[in-house]
């Protein structure tokens, strides 16, 4: 665990970048520092690997003051990833990644083998190994940056706005990749960003900082969204935080119904039986074809091309309530279609039912908070 204990950083020109900050960063999880520009995120991060020395206070790593070990040793045990990657332009990709292992005295062969392994892990084609940084796209360079930081298998990873210089599509890919890698490796990651959505997506814990280097709130993302500590945090979270919070509720417990689901070769009785304004027609494999009002359906002559689009379906096991709600909102009938991972319909659910689930989830969330508090 990294423990930041009432740390203050005053730069020589008098700027107080961080003001009596205390933070406990749990092991094997992603802790995000988020806040507006100039609020002291980078300064805080750099105090952890002593690129910036605190003016007051201490930082403990596994209970020991980080001042106690040689600074280069400390840094080599912490991977560091920055915006634009900061790759060594004069070294090949494989040599960039092998930098820290080589410094730690690994043989050339072993270091390169390790680099190749990491390229695969971060999703880089092995053919890129002998290239130079200028021959890579921004997203690829960023992956190299991550691989380089992981090379010596450090327990801690410090990341300073690593994905903010790439376009939104690439950024999403990199974020998903980071979550996957984190699932596999379980590093202690401190991640700096000014993008609250990124913070909420990646963070196990999120520290919201405000200008002047103060900690405004430190909480898991769902808690942040449900109970911002003050107006600043609420404002920083932005609009529709109620909707965004739904990302943290699973859709698995939604009550599905398969009454309005009929096959393509449905009989007249099957069409007439359900007491529903719309019916969902499925193909022989159970995949959704589309919606229709019962009166528009003729048994034995259901034409898939005449059906209303069924919209995007959701997968109850994997998707959140937010996705389910989104599906229902976008559906022409107001009903969301649930499918299994194979794409076969498992049932449908109305906006009203989803609304019910949201209310009970919020109620449960409040109870949790009461218990925790």
Partner 1 sequence: MNGFLHDFFDIPSDLQHSWIGLVGLHLREALLPVAAGLLLALPIAQLCIRFRWLYPPVLGITTVLYAVPSLAFFVVLINYTGQTELTVMIPLAVYSLVVLVPAIVDGVRSVPQETLSAATAMGFGPLRRYFQVQLPIAVPAIIAGLRVATVSSISLVSVGMLIGNQGALGNLLHDAQIYNRPELTWNSVITTALLAILVDALLVLVRVLLTPWMPSGTAGRKQAPALKDAAR
Ligand X SMILES: Nc1ncnc2c1ncn2[C@@H]1O[C@H](COP(=O)(O)OP(=O)(O)OP(=O)(O)O)[C@@H](O)[C@H]1O
Burial class (CB in 10 A: 0-12, 13-18, 19+), 10: middle
The alpha carbon dihedral of 165, 166, 168, 170 has a sign of negative
Contact of residue 51 among partner 1, Mg ion, ligand X, none (CB under 5-8 Å per partner type): partner 1
| Nearer to ligand X among residue 14 and residue 70 (C-beta) | 14
**265's tokens:** 């070769």
| Nearer to partner 1 among residue 8 and residue 83 (C-beta) | 83
Contacts (CB under 5 A) with Mg ion, residues 183-242: none
d(CA 216, CA 113): 44
Residue nearest to ligand X (CB): 42
d(CA 272, CA 294): 7
Smallest distance, Å, CB 44 to Mg ion?
A: 9
Burial class (CB in 10 A: 0-12, 13-18, 19+), 155: middle
Smallest distance, Å, CB 161 to partner 1?
A: 11
> Using CB under 8 A, which of 133, 203, 316, 347 touches partner 1?
133
Smallest distance, Å, CB 81 to ligand X?
A: 14
> Using CB under 8 A, which of 10, 75, 172, 214 touches partner 1?
75
Contact of residue 40 among Mg ion, partner 1, ligand X, none (CB under 5-8 Å per partner type): ligand X
Q: List, in order, residues 6 or more apart from 237 with CB less than 8 Å away.
A: 196, 224, 225, 228
Contact of residue 99 among ligand X, Mg ion, partner 1, none (CB under 5-8 Å per partner type): partner 1
> Using CB under 8 A, which of 30, 115, 158, 262 touches partner 1?
158
Parallel, antiparallel or unpaired: strands 279-282 and 261-263: parallel
Residue nearest to Mg ion (CB): 42
> Using CB under 8 A, which of 16, 51, 128, 315 touches partner 1?
51
138-150 vs 168-185: helix axis angle to the nearest 10? 20
**Chain residues in the site for ligand X (CB under 6 A):** 11, 13, 15, 17, 37-43, 194
List the x/- string, 159-188, binding to Mg ion by CB under 5 A: ------------------------------
Q: Which H helix or E strand runs over 272?
A: helix 268-272
Residue 242 · residue 222 · CB < 8 Å: no
Residue 115 · residue 107 · CB < 8 Å: no
**Residues contributing to the site for partner 1 (CB under 8 A):** 49, 51, 71-76, 78, 80, 82-92, 99-100, 103, 132-134, 145, 148, 158
């Amino acid at each position: 665990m990294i423990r930041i204990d009432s740390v203050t950083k005053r730069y020589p020109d008098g700027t107080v970048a961080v003001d009596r900050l205390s933070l406990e960063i749990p092991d094997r999880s992603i802790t995000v520092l988020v806040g507006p520009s100039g609020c002291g995120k980078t300064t805080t991060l750099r105090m952890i690997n002593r690129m910036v020395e605190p003016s007051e206070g201490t930082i403990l790593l596994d209970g020991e003051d980080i001042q106690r070990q040689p600074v280069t040793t400390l840094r080599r045990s912490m991977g560091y990833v920055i915006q634009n990657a900061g790759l060594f332009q004069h070294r090949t990709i494989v040599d960039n990644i092998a930098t820290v292992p080589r410094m730690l005295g690994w043989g050339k062969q072993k270091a390169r083998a390790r680099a190749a392994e990491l390229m695969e892990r971060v999703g880089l084609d092995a053919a890129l190994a002998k290239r130079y940084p200028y021959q890579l796209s921004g997203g690829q360079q960023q992956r190299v940056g991550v691989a380089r930081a992981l090379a010596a298998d450090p327990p801690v990873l410090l990341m300073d706005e690593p994905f903010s210089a790439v376009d939104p599509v690439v950024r999403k890919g990199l974020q998903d990749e980071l979550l996957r890698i984190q699932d596999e490796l379980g590093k202690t990651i401190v991640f700096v960003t000014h993008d609250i959505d990124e913070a909420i997506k990646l963070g196990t814990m999120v520290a919201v900082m405000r200008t002047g280097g103060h900690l405004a709130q430190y909480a898991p993302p769902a808690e942040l969204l449900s109970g911002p500590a003050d107006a600043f945090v609420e404002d920083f979270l932005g609009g529709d935080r109620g909707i965004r919070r739904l990302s943290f509720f699973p859709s698995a417990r939604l009550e599905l119904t398969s009454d309005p689901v009929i096959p393509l070769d449905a009989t007249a009785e099957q069409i007439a039986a359900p007491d529903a304004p719309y019916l969902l027609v499925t193909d022989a494999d159970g995949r959704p074809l589309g919606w229709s009002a019962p009166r528009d359906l003729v048994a034995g002559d259901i034409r898939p091309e005449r059906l209303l689009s069924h919209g995007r379906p959701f997968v109850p096991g994997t998707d959140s309530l937010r996705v389910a709600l989104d599906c229902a909102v976008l559906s022409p009938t107001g009903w969301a279609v649930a499918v299994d991972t194979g794409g076969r319909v498992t049932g449908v659910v109305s906006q009203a039912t989803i609304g019910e689930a949201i209310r009970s989830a919020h109620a449960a969330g409040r109870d949790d908070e009461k218990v925790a508090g």
